[in-house]
Amino acid sequence: MTDSADSDDVFSRAREQMVRQQLAGRGIRDPGVLRAMSETPRHLFVPPSLENRAYTDQALPIGYSATISQPYVVALMTESLRVSKRDRVLEIGTGSGYQAAVLAGLVRQVYTIEIVPELARAARERLRRLGYSNVAVREGDGYLGWPEEAPFDAIVITAAPDEIPPALLWQLKNGGRMVAPVGPSFEQDLVLVTKSASGAISRSTIAGVAFVPMKRSPR
């Protein structure tokens, strides 16, 4: 057996343990989400120096003052969206591409926006290399969303705005769901926004979280 095969086996076991203990063990029930998390190689979405910590339940730095969210929070946000195979989903805050990769196994198409050029380029290449053909990556300001592809069945924001951008509320389809950390730096509520068939907006709090602030392009 090669060193590469040994490493793959180690990561596979670590991923299975992550899903069993950190996700299912803490209340994640959606079988599709658990499957997607078990199939997505998180160690390929963190810096090589942090591979040995890839399946611990913690956020990890990926450079440029950005992080990859802890697995439980990724699973919780994904489960809260209640997506299906026919859905088109917008993600704000691509980072390394991990959340987009998890969603790619659950939906028809993922559109993801990253404001840091270096992260956007790296994520696009990483996702392409790993075969995620249903993910489109854009470098840009997430506060503006992706209007030409709207409306979206679901939207997930992976950095924290003080308030949910109006453009994103507009780009959410009637009947859609949005999950976002909202509030001041590193002290936010994870908020679920639902939009009724008539377009009425309602909000509820899922949990307390700590995300990096959502950046804006200079005006």
> Which residues form the catalytic set?
69
H, E, C per residue of the chain: CCHHHHHHHHHHHHHHHHHHHHHHHHCCCCHHHHHHHHHCCHHHCCCHHHHHHCCCCCCEEEECCEEECCHHHHHHHHHHHCCCCCCEEEEECCCCCHHHHHHHCCCCEEEEEECCHHHHHHHHHHHHHCCCCCEEEEECCHHHCCHHHCCEEEEEECCECCCCCHHHHHHEEEEEEEEEEECCCCCEEEEEEEECCCCCEEEEEEEEECCCECCCCCC
